[in-house]
Amino acid sequence: MSSVAEKEQYNYDIVKFCVITGIIMGVIGTAIGTYIALELAFPWLNADIAEISFGRLRPVHTNTVIFGFGGFLLYGAGLYMVQHTSHARIRFEKLAWAAVALWLVAILCIWVTLPMGMTQSKEYHEPEWWIDLIMATSWIFMTITFLGTIAARKMSHIYVGNWFFMTMLFMVTYIFVFNGMCIPVDFTFSYSAYSGIHDAMTQWWWGHNAVGFFLTAGFIGVMYYFVPKHANRPIYSYRLSILHFWSLTFLYVWVGAHHLHYTAIPDWTLSLGAGMSIALIFPSWGGMINGMMTMSGAWDKLRTDPVMRFMVVALAFYGMSTFEGPLMGTKSVNALSHYTDWTIGHVHSGALGWNAMIAIGAMYHMITRMWNTEMWSAKLVNMHFWVHLTGAVLYITAMWGSGVLQGLMWRAFDEYGNLVYTFADSVAAMHPFYALRALGGFLVFCGFCIMLFNTLKTVGAVKAGTNEPFDVAKAA
């Protein structure tokens, strides 16, 4: 299908808006992340200002990168994918625009309310109840649009990427609604409907499945469209995709309990969570293998195409962090890793390695197709890749080092049976790692700045008519 026909058939305006907003969210989210990382290395940066103190700013970072960057990528790439794989224009376009607009409003509200200290104090679910309502409305609008577009498809089969995306839409609705159950005191404060162990279980059912569905199922869906499309190869195995789709859909839900090992939660729940965590390696690696092997016969693209490199390295990180996850989900490893920076390292190997890199790859892919142009500078795309990768690796290794060191220092006994280190000793030992982590985060931020600059230049060149048109032959 020629690009001209595509332009008439598909709604690219909404996708373009999501992609540009997503990149801006990436810049802002990593900037805040870098700042709070520096606050931990150099506490004077808290500057005695309540609004920018670590405890208030940290959720602004997590919400901006997960729901800002991740959310706009999912909305954009989801709408792009569902149109292309259904050969149909978005259904209910006004609803789709409303979904995107409400999501942006929610993020803006988050930026204002969280620094003011209005928080539900549940990790990755901090925004107060009325912002929850805005986000939920947006999400339901998106679900209707997405399912409507699938229903309007011009072929008999629903594409595998859309299965994953739909699973995400459903599950995130469940967990967001049930974890968000609360009784408001006023607009600034609410109490969770659950207390103690029940609140803990519900929270980590949300917490882990926000990762499992928002950041995994949704992004796997994106991967299933963009990797084969960019490599111009068919998906490696149809059967594997079915097998890992249903097992991932069923299994991921169970593993949240591994965030609560050795706590006051009933032991049977934790054992179940640990067992399912180990089992989860199979559906996870099913997706990784299916993505990787799709590259068969197109590996040479890695030498010339930095966008392909983003996608393949993302899959490698996905494979690595889904191996690490089950490991950390077992009780004996968790006994060491829990409460330490290892958790933070693990999250960022998923977030910076897998999520960000597959997102960035998909974004570059969409930009060139939607604006029908080559990027303003191919060199800058390549530079973005190396800067991002270096930053991610620095970040992750720093947190692994500090996490394991922390865990070992806390449990060290001397020959007389006394604790070797005070807690403060372990805090002091973290300093070099925290500084290194901030450097890694800063590089990732620089990468996003490069991407934003390159994208704006590209769009500007298209507007001015000075761009190099997208070369279909070269891409194939």
Partner 1 sequence: MSEEYKKGKGMIRGIPHDTIEQSLPILAVFVAILVAVGGIVEIVPAFYLDDSEPAVEGVRPLTPLELEGFAIYRREGCFLCHSQMIRPFRDEKERYGHFSLAVESGYDHNFVWGSKRTGPDVARLGEKYTDAWHVQHMRKPRSVVPESVMPNYVWLEETVLDTSRTAKRMQVLKSMNVPYSNDDIANFAVDIKAQAAVDDGDGEDDLRARYERKAWGSVNEGDDTIVTWTDSFEPTELNVRAFDGDASDVTELDALIAYLQQLGTHVHFEEGVDYYHDKFGQPYRK
Complex with partner 1: residue 291 or 306, whichever CB lies closer: 291
Mapped onto helix, strand or coil, the DSSP state of residue 10 is: coil
| 432 in contact with partner 1 (CB under 8 A) | no
Question: Which region, judged by CB under 8 A, interacts with partner 1, from 6-14, 21-29, 131-139, 168-176?
Answer: 168-176
What's the closest the beta carbon of residue 446 comes to partner 1, in angstroms?
A: 25
What's the closest the beta carbon of residue 476 comes to partner 1, in angstroms?
A: 18
| 368 in contact with partner 1 (CB under 8 A) | no
Complex with partner 1: residue 163 or 442, whichever CB lies closer: 163
| 282 in contact with partner 1 (CB under 8 A) | no
Give the DSSP per-residue string, 11-46.
--HHHHHHHHHHHHHHHHHHHHHHHHHHHHHSGGGG
What's the closest the beta carbon of residue 1 comes to partner 1, in angstroms?
A: 17
Task: Pick out residues in 17-46 that bind partner 1 (CB under 8 A).
Answer: 39-41, 43, 46
Complex with partner 1: residue 5 or 264, whichever CB lies closer: 264
Complex with partner 1: residue 200 or 360, whichever CB lies closer: 200
Q: Which of 11, 192, 337, 355 binds partner 1 (CB under 8 A)?
A: 192
| 63 in contact with partner 1 (CB under 8 A) | no
What's the closest the beta carbon of residue 189 comes to partner 1, in angstroms?
A: 7
Q: Are 242 and 248 in contact (CB under 8 A)?
A: no
Q: Which of 13, 112, 177, 250 binds partner 1 (CB under 8 A)?
A: 250
The size of the chain, in residues, is: 476
Complex with partner 1: residue 133 or 462, whichever CB lies closer: 133
Task: Pick out residues in 436-465 that bind partner 1 (CB under 8 A).
Answer: none
Q: Which of 242, 297, 304, 472 binds partner 1 (CB under 8 A)?
A: 242
Q: Which of 145, 202, 277, 322 binds partner 1 (CB under 8 A)?
A: 202
Nearest to 75 by CA among 4, 11, 131, 125: 11
Q: Are 114 and 32 in contact (CB under 8 A)?
A: no
- Tell whether the torsion through CA atoms of 226, 229, 230 and 231 is positive or negative: positive
Spatial neighbors of 465 by CB under 8 A, at least 6 apart, are: none
Complex with partner 1: residue 143 or 458, whichever CB lies closer: 143
In angstroms, rounded to a whole number, what is the distance separating the alpha carbons of residues 82 and 218? 12
What's the closest the beta carbon of residue 70 comes to partner 1, in angstroms?
A: 19
What's the closest the beta carbon of residue 130 comes to partner 1, in angstroms?
A: 16
Mapped onto helix, strand or coil, the DSSP state of residue 183 is: strand
Q: Which of 4, 8, 154, 413 binds partner 1 (CB under 8 A)?
A: 413
Nearest to 40 by CA among 69, 61, 23: 61
Q: What is the CA radius of gyration of the chain?
A: 22
Complex with partner 1: residue 293 or 449, whichever CB lies closer: 293
Task: Pick out residues in 90-149 that bind partner 1 (CB under 8 A).
Answer: 117-123, 147
In angstroms, rounded to a whole number, what is the distance separating the alpha carbons of residues 434 and 381? 28
The CA-to-CA distance between both ends of the chain, in Å, stands at 13
Tell me how crowded residue 269 is: count the other CB atoms within 10 A of its CB. 15
Tell me how crowded residue 55 is: count the other CB atoms within 10 A of its CB. 12
| 343 in contact with partner 1 (CB under 8 A) | yes
């925004």: which residue's tokens? 127
In angstroms, rounded to a whole number, what is the distance separating the alpha carbons of residues 74 and 218? 7
